Structure 1
Amino acid sequence: MHDFSHANILVVGDVMLDQYWTGRAGRISPEAPVPVVKVATEEVRAGGAANVALNIAALGANAHLLGIVGKDISGQIDAHGQQLSQLMTQAGVSYDWALSDSGTICKLRVLSHHQQLIRMDFENPVPETPALELVERLKEQIANYNVLVISDYAKGALQFVEQMITAAIAVNVPVLVDPKGLDFSRYQGATLIKPNQSEFESVVGEALETADLVSKAEVLIKKLQLEALLVTRSEHGMALVTSNEMPYLLQSQAQEVFDVTGAGDTVMAALATGFASGMSLQNAVHLANQAASIVVRKVGTSTVSKVELDEVIKASMRHKGYVAMNEDELLELVQLAQKNGERVVITNGCFDLLHSGHVRYLNEAAKLGERLIVAVNSDESVQILKGPTRPIVGLEGRMELLSALSCVDWVVPFNEETPERLVCKIKPDVLVKGGDYQPSEIAGSKCVWDSGGQVEVLSFWKGYSTTGLVNKIQESEAIESNLTPQECVE
Structure 2
Amino acid sequence: MELVTPAFQNAAVLVIGDAMLDRYWHGKTARISPEAPVPVVKVAGNEDRPGGAANVALNIAALGAAASVAAIRGQDEAGDVLQGRLEAAGVACHFARAASAPTITKLRVISQQQQLLRVDFEESYQPEDLQALGDSAVQAIPGCDVLVLSDYGKGALDDPQQYIQAALEAGIPVVVDPKGQDFGKYRGATVLTPNLSEFEAVVGHCQDESVLISRGQTLRETLELGALLITRGEQGMTLLQQNRQPLHLPAQAREVFDVTGAGDTVVAVLAAALAAGSALDEAMAMANIAAGLAVARQGTASISGPELRRAVQSMHGLGRGVMSEEQLLSAVEDARASGETIVFTNGCFDIIHAGHVGYLAEAKRLGQRLIVAINADESVRRLKGNSRPINPVERRMAVLAGLEAVDWVVSFSEDTPEHLLSMLKPDILVKGGDYAPDQVVGAELVRAYGGDVKVLAFLDNCSTSAIVDKVRKSS
Give TM-score scaled by structure 2 length. 0.78
Q: Which residue of 2 aligns with 1:112?
A: 111
1:350 counterpart residue number:
346
Q: Deviations over 1:36-67 (max 9, x none)?
A: 43322211110011111111111011111100
Q: Is the 8 A contact 1:361 1:434 kept in 2?
A: no
Q: Deviations over 1:120-152 (max 9, x none)?
A: 211111112221222222332322221110000
Q: Distance in 2 between matches of 1:212 and 1:363?
A: 57
Contact 1:25 1:35 in 2 (8 A): yes
Is 1:98 aligned with 2:102?
no
Cα displacement string for residues 340-361 of structure 1 (whole angstroms, at most 9, x for unaligned residues): xxxx8x7643242554438855
Amino acid in the other structure paired with 2:121: F
Q: Deviations over 1:188-235 (max 9, x none)?
A: 000011011100000000014222211111000000000111111111
Q: Which residue of 2 aligns with 1:65?
A: 69
Q: Give the counterpart of 1:14 among 18, 25, 50.
A: 18
Counting only pairs closer than 5 Å after superposition, residues 81-160 of structure 1 correspond to structure 2 as 81-100=79-98, 101-160=100-159
Q: Indicate how the Cα distance of structure 1 residues 50 and 369 shifts in structure 2: closer, same or farther if over 3 A, else same.
A: same
Instruction: Give the match's secondary structure for 1:309.
Output: helix
| Residue matched to 1:44 | 48
Report how far residue 403 of structure 1 moved: 8.4
Match of 2:233 in 1: 234
Partner of 2:250: 251
**Helix, strand or coil: the match of 1:148?**
strand
**Residues 1:28 and 1:357: Cα distance change in structure 2 (over 3 Å):** farther
Secondary structure at the residue paired with 1:5?
helix
What percentage of aligned pairs have identical amino acids?
Answer: 41
1:285 to 1:462, Cα distance in 2 relative to 1, 3 A: same
Alpha-carbon separation, structure 2, partners of 1:214 and 1:388? 66
Q: Give the superposition deviation at 1:160.
A: 1.8
Greater Cα shift, 123-132 or 184-193: 123-132
Q: Distance in 1 between matches of 2:264 and 2:91?
A: 15
Q: Is the 8 A contact 1:148 1:174 kept in 2?
A: yes
Matches within 5 A, 1:312-323: 312-318=311-317, 320-321=319-320, 323=328
5+ unaligned residues in a row in structure 2: which ranges?
Answer: 444-454
Assess if the C-alpha contact under 8 Å between 2:259 and 2:295 holds in 1.
Answer: yes
1: CA distance, partners of 2:60 / 2:191: 18
Tell me if structure 1 keeps the 8 A contact 2:343–2:366: no
Structure 1 residues 371 and 110, CA gap change in structure 2 (3 angstroms): same
| Cα distance in structure 2, aligned partners of 1:93 and 1:402 | 46
For residues 192 and 420 of structure 2, the distance between their equivalents in structure 1, rounded to whole angstroms, comes to 55
Once the two structures are TM-superposed, the CA of residue 397 in structure 1 deviates from its matched residue by 8.4
Distance 1:400 1:184, change over 3 A: farther
> Does the 8 Å contact 1:128/1:159 carry over to 2?
no
Note the alpha carbon deviations across 1:387-421, whole angstroms, 9 max, x for none. Answer: 999x989xx989976885474434689749999x9
| Structure 1 pair 39–299 and aligned structure 2 pair: CA distance change class (3 A) | farther
What's the offset of the Cα at 1:456?
9.6
- Residue range with higher mean Cα deviation, 178-187 or 365-374: 365-374
CA contact 2:401–2:409 (8 Å) conserved in 1: no
Preserved CA contact (<8 Å) 1:378 1:415? no
Q: Corresponding residue for 1:338?
A: none
Note closer, same or farther for the CA distance 1:456–1:155 as it changes in structure 2 (3 Å cut).
farther
Opposite residue 87 of structure 1, the aligned amino acid is R
State whether residues 103 and 122 of structure 2, in contact with CA within 8 Å, keep that contact through their aligned partners in structure 1.
yes
- The residue that corresponds to 1:341 in the other structure is none
The aligned length equals 435
Deviations 1:418-446 (A, max 9, x none): 99x977x47xxxx9987799xxxx99xxx
| Runs of 4+ that moved beyond 6 A | 365-370, 386-389, 396-400, 416-419, 431-437, 455-458
Give matches, 1:468-487, under 5 Å: none
Q: Which residue of structure 1 lines up, in the alignment, with residue 452 of structure 2?
A: none
Give how far 1:30 is off: 5.5
- 8 Å contact from structure 1 (residues 62, 93) kept in 2: yes
Q: Is the 8 A contact 2:152 2:178 kept in 1?
A: yes
Distance (whole Å) between structure 2 residues aligned to residue 114 and residue 83 of structure 1 = 24
In structure 2, give the amino acid aligned to 1:330.
A
For residues 267 and 250 of structure 1, the distance between their equivalents in structure 2, rounded to whole angstroms, comes to 13
Q: Deviations over 1:441-464 (max 9, x none)?
A: x99xxxxxxxxxxx9988548464
The code of the aligned residue for 2:74 comes to: G
Partners of 1:306 and 1:399 in 2: how far apart?
Answer: 32
Code of the residue aligned with 2:26 in structure 1: it is: T
Determine if the alignment matches structure 1 residue 331 to structure 2 residue 336: yes
- TM-score (structure 1 length as normaliser): 0.76
Question: 1:373 corresponds to which residue?
Answer: 370
- Contact 1:70-1:81 at 8 Å conserved across structures: yes
Per-residue deviation, 1:31: 5.1
